[in-house]
Every structure is written in structure tokens, then in C-alpha cells.
Chain A
Amino acid sequence: GAVVSQHPSWVICKSGTSVKIECRSLDFQATTMFWYRQFPKQSLMLMATSNEGSKATYEQGVEKDKFLINHASLTLSTLTVTSAHPEDSSFYICSARGGRGNLHTQYFGPGTRLTVL
């Protein structure tokens, strides 16, 4: 199946700093990428949807100025958590769709564990 990678797999940062997470589709071109957040023992929550070359669409309650999303190419999307605070500590997961003519399936990355001290 299609492969999606994320980098870094985990990151620890100080409160007030910014953190960038990369999401790459390794063997297909992703027309759309998604960013999710998952807190312990909870389900995935969709944060935003991004299409290559256009602005991301954020879900209700997600601050677009705090979670900056860039989808500059068909294989790369980045999520930047600006001025991170301890409450932003979470498991961030990206997904991509568009590979092999299959528009119904999302392929997920392995996730990035963010801890803000």
C-alpha cells in the first residue's frame, strides 16, 4: 500500500517555542492531506484539510494562526505549532489521499508525539 512518513516521530520542546512537523507521501502524489490530533485514550480529531497549492480548511475550534499548515507540493505538507503550550501536547497524525487513482482511501503516517514542557 501507499506509504506516508512523518518527521520527527517525537519532539520535546519548551513552552513558547514553535515546532514543525513534516508529512510526506513517499510513493504517490497526494492531492489532499489531513492533520489529526489524538489525546490519550481518545479518538482522532480532524484539525484541518489541505489541498496542494491552496489554503488549508480548518475544523471548527481549531486556531488557524496557531496551527499553521503548508502544503507546498504533492508529496509534502507541514504543520507548525506556534507558541506551543503544555495543553498542545498530543499525538499528531497526518494522512494523505490521492494515490493510484484511489480517492476513497486515506493513508496515515506513523504519528508525531509532541510534549511541551
Chain B
Amino acid sequence: DAKTTQPNSMESNEEEPVHLPCNHSTISGTDYIHWYRQLPSQGPEYVIHGLTSNVNNRMASLAIAEDRKSSTLILHRATLRDAAVYYCIESNSGGSNYKLTFGKGTLLTVNP
């Protein structure tokens, strides 16, 4: 079973920031936090990942709580193309038993 909890759905307006929360209260010290998103009838797309420090890339920012029990994916200016299911996943560091377990994710709707 997925070890993270996310809201089932969220709604935002175009060109406004979006903050997608994720709880991972049982995360271990070596587990990474990954975010992927999936558009309808497509494979998931990597968004961002982090361990302890906040991370930024061209797609989004990842804010990780100091106790690492929660994180927030930030889309700085939502566009219609950002409408998707967003998955927050914790996994180990990439060793032999590395794998991603997908939960139900958050369905983000972006209003024009």
C-alpha cells in the first residue's frame, strides 16, 4: 500500500499558484520524496524529488517540512496543461529493492 496521503482532488485557477500537500508521517531517514503527474491516457511524468532540502526545477518547487513528515509541491503559475493527477511517493535511495508504489494521487483541475 502507498505510504503517503494526499487530498483526492484540488482546484485552481489559471496563472495562480497551486500548493499540493502530501503527508508521509512514517518516512524513514533515507527515503526520498518523489512527485510524478499523469495526464489522461498517458504514462506518468517525473516532476521533482527531494530528500531533506527544498528543491526547485523548471517545472515546480518542492517544500519539505523540517521533520520530513509532510511536503508540498508548488506550481508557481498553473496552466491548463498542468491539469493532471499528481502522485506523491516515498521510496528508498535506489538500492536493490527500490521501487515506486503509487497511491491514488490528487486530481488537479485548473479553471481558465
Q: Is the interface of A mostly helix, strand, loop or mixed?
A: strand
Which residues of chain A (65-117) have a CB below 8 Å from chain B?
91, 93, 95, 97, 103-111, 113
Check: B34 CB closer than 8 A to any chain A CB: yes
Please give, as numbers and ranges, the residues of chain A lying within 8 Å of B32 by CB-CB distance: 104
What are 9 sample pairs from A and B whose C-beta atoms fall under 8 A apart?
Answer: A1-B46, A43-B103, A44-B102, A93-B43, A93-B44, A103-B93, A104-B32, A104-B93, A111-B41
Q: How far is the CB of A54 from chain B (nearest CB, A)?
A: 11
B94:A104 contact, CB within 8 angstroms: yes
A104:B44 contact, CB within 8 angstroms: no
Q: Is the interface of B mostly helix, strand, loop or mixed?
A: loop
A46:B43 contact, CB within 8 angstroms: no
B105:A43 contact, CB within 8 angstroms: yes
Please give, as numbers and ranges, the residues of chain A lying within 8 Å of B15 by CB-CB distance: none
Number of B residues with CB within 8 Å of any CB on chain A = 24
Total A-B contacts with CB atoms under 8 angstroms apart: 56
With A103-B98, A104-B49 already in contact, the answer to whether A110 and B43 are too (CB < 8 A) is: yes
How many Å lie between the Cα of A43 and that of B46 in the bound state?
Answer: 16
Please give, as numbers and ranges, the residues of chain B lying within 8 Å of A36 by CB-CB distance: 102
Choose from A43, A106, A107, A110 the contact partner of B42 (Cβ within 8 Å): A110
How many Å lie between the Cα of A108 and that of B100 in the bound state?
Answer: 12
How many Å lie between the Cα of A108 and that of B38 in the bound state?
Answer: 10
Check: B99 CB closer than 8 A to any chain A CB: yes
Interface string of B85-112 (1 = CB under 8 A from A): 0010001011000111111110000000
Please give, as numbers and ranges, the residues of chain B lying within 8 Å of A29 by CB-CB distance: none
Interface string of B8-31 (1 = CB under 8 A from A): 000000000000000000000000
Please give, as numbers and ranges, the residues of chain B lying within 8 Å of A106 by CB-CB distance: 46, 100
